[in-house]
């Protein structure tokens, strides 16, 4: 138990520990599936039971208000809950864009009616959410987006397309930035709206990658309808709302989110990996270059973790704002460096694509190394984060 626990926190820890031991099914411990709400993916019985029990307790979104499916936990209690889950290897009961991206955005910008309608659904993992931001001509320059929403009585009619829609094949809903007024300056004619993907006007086409898998899709909107009541944060106010959602996204990538859910840190020790594959006399890593890089990475990673903790401690709102850009750039660099070193430390064992001469762990390293290239692209590229830091943190001229 931490020395800093107050009496009430101690009690909370004891009760939490006991409840988790009694209620976390064996199949929800250790590595395994974590639901993200998709109604198109059938869950293992223990995963489904764990989700249901945690949702009943308000612990799928522990810091949200009780009336919206949360448990009103203070940040210190939330950290205790995470520590206690980690102690027994309990997996996160729910993750994804519902609880982590659009959920906190609705909590911050939604009307009372929108909060009452949507937040309990996010909290129970009812519906897998996709993100409709990027378009073929709007990536870093997101405000150039063209997906058009026109007035159709109680609805908006949507025409256009989005691209790089992660999990598009399994999504039930998509939150979209749409153009509601093409005559205004480009940042001012945008709104954020929730769209049901299970309707004839929404078509999803997988983008096939060189690996053979299709984690992203193109999403086409052909007279698709979105309920006017589901426009979040006000008509033509989507730029500010959409940027805040990006901060929620980045705070998840940076490991500093205090809203929604947070996974456990299951990082491998690169020192152990390097010793295993490059063992010299007395278990000393032979290559001095690798030793230097390992030490440098270890120091940077620890400094990063301390900064994460400081940002969480200093944050008064539900998620940090501009600090997310700083952490995103640094986190992306460290993730890529770690993946590079992991792969290189293993020599040819870190280059397997398929075949029996490689273990499944070794094959996974190659894929992790390749997919790590994406971390400096999604959620806004590193160059764009540096632009934000230059303008909004350092106050440099455009
Ligand atoms: C794994 C993954 C998942 C994704 N999932 C989704 C999703 O679910 N939904 C969604 O909407 N999008 C998603 N994206 C798309 C992602 O948001 C965009 O790829 C990203 O914003 C960059 O846009 P772009 O690909 O059009 O690149 P571009 O904007 O064309 O950029 C190309 C290069 O130019 C640089 N550049 C551009 N403008 C500037 C500038 N002003 N200053 C300096 N450098 C600049 C960029 O940094 C980049 O290196 C995903 C991307 C990846 C990799």
pLDDT in tens, 168-179: 999 999 999 999
Mean pLDDT on 297-318: 82
Contact 197, 171 (CB under 8 A): yes
Give the CA radius of gyration of the chain: 22
Contact 324, 330 (CB under 8 A): no
What distance in angstroms lies between residue 71's CA and the mean position of ligand 1's atoms?
36
- The reply to whether 282 and 193 lie within a common domain is no
Mean pLDDT on 30-49: 96
pLDDT of residue 282: 55
Which one of 249, 267, 337, 356 is the catalytic residue?
Answer: 249
- The reply to whether 50 and 165 lie within a common domain is no
Question: pLDDT (tens digit, 9 = 90+) per residue, 40-68?
Answer: 999 999 999 999 999 999 999 999 999 99
- Please give the residue range of the domain that contains residue 351: 267-393
- The reply to whether 60 and 153 lie within a common domain is no
For the question of residue 135 being annotated catalytic, the response is no
Tokens (6 digits) for 139: 């990536």
- The reply to whether 277 and 363 lie within a common domain is yes
If one residue of 38, 130, 131, 140 were mutated to test the ligand 1 pocket, choosing by the most ligand atoms within 8 A of its CB, it would be 140
What distance in angstroms lies between residue 148's CA and the mean position of ligand 1's atoms?
21
Residue 372's alpha-carbon distances to 152, 252, 304, 375, in angstroms, are: 43, 16, 18, 6
- The reply to whether 296 and 367 lie within a common domain is yes
127 dihedral zone (left: phi>0; alpha: psi -120 to 50; beta)? left
Q: Answer yes or no: is 123 within a domain.
A: no
For the CA of 162, the closest atom of ligand 1 is 11
Q: Answer yes or no: is 255 within a domain.
A: no
Q: Answer yes or no: is 114 within a domain.
A: no
If one residue of 139, 253, 390 were mutated to test the ligand 1 pocket, choosing by the most ligand atoms within 8 A of its CB, it would be 139
- The reply to whether 53 and 141 lie within a common domain is no
With 60 as the cut, is the pLDDT of residue 319 above it? yes
For the CA of 381, the closest atom of ligand 1 is 47
Residues 6 and 52: their CA atoms lie apart, in Å, by 30
- The reply to whether 211 and 142 lie within a common domain is yes
Question: pLDDT (tens digit, 9 = 90+) per residue, 134-158?
Answer: 999 999 999 999 999 999 999 999 9
- The reply to whether 150 and 39 lie within a common domain is no
Q: Answer yes or no: is 45 within a domain.
A: yes
Question: pLDDT (tens digit, 9 = 90+) per residue, 64-121?
Answer: 999 999 999 988 898 899 999 999 999 999 999 999 999 999 999 999 999 999 999 9
First-last CA distance in the chain:
50
Give residues (CB < 6 A) around ligand 1. Answer: 131-134, 139-140, 162, 164-166, 216, 374, 377-378, 380-381, 383-384, 387
Range among 4-8, 73-77, 217-221, 279-283 with highest mean pLDDT value: 217-221
Q: How much helix, strand and coil, in percent to the nearest 5, is found in the chain?
A: 50, 15, 35
- The reply to whether 95 and 133 lie within a common domain is no
The band of 398, judged by pLDDT with boundaries at 50, 70 and 90, is confident
Q: What is the CATH number for 69?
A: 1.10.540.10
Q: Answer yes or no: is 191 within a domain.
A: yes
Q: Answer yes or no: is 92 within a domain.
A: yes
What distance in angstroms lies between residue 311's CA and the mean position of ligand 1's atoms?
26
Q: What is the CATH number for 157?
A: 2.40.110.10
């Amino acid at each position: 138990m931490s020395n800093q626990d107050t009496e009430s926190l101690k009690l909370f820890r004891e009760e939490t520990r006991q409840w988790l031991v009694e209620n976390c099914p064996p199949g929800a411990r250790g590595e395994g599936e974590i639901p993200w709400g998709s109604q198109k993916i059938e869950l293992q019985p223990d995963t489904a039971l764990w989700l249901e029990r945690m949702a009943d307790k308000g612990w799928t979104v522990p810091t949200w208000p009780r009336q919206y499916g949360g448990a009103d936990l203070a940040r210190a209690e939330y950290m205790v809950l995470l520590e206690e889950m980690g102690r027994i290897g309990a997996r996160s009961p729910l993750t994804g864009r519902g609880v982590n991206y659009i959920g906190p955005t609705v909590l911050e910008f939604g009307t009372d009616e929108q909060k009452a309608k949507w937040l309990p659904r996010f909290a129970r993992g009812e519906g897998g959410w996709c993100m409709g931001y990027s378009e073929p001509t709007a990536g870093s320059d997101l405000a150039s987006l063209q997906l058009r929403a026109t007035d159709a009585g109680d609805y908006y009619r949507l025409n256009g397309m989005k691209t790089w829609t992660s999990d598009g094949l399994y999504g039930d809903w998509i939150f979209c930035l749409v153009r509601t007024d093409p005559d205004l300056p480009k940042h001012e004619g945008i709104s954020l709206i929730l769209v049901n993907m299970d309707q004839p006007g929404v078509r999803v086409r997988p983008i096939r990658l060189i690996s053979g898998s299709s984690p992203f899709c193109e999403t086409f909107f052909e007279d698709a309808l979105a309920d006017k009541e589901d426009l979040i944060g006000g008509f033509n106010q989507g730029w500010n709302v959409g940027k805040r959602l990006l901060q929620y996204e980045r705070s998840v990538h940076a490991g500093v989110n205090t809203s929604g859910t947070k996974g456990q840190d299951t990082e491998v020790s690169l020192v152990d990996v390097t010793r295993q594959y490059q063992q010299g006399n007395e278990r000393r890593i032979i290559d001095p270059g690798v030793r230097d890089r390992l030490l440098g990475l270890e120091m940077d990673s620890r400094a990063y973790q301390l900064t994460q903790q400081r940002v969480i401690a200093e944050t008064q709102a539900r998620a940090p704002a501009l600090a997310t850009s700083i952490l995103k750039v640094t986190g992306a660099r460290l993730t890529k460096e770690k993946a590079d070193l992991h792969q290189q430390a293993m020599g040819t064992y870190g280059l397997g694509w398929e075949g029996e001469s490689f273990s499944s762990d070794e094959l996974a390293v190659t894929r992790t190394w390749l997919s790590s290239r994406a971390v400096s692209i999604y959620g806004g590229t590193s160059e764009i984060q540096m632009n934000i830091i230059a303008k909004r943190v350092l106050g440099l001229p455009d």
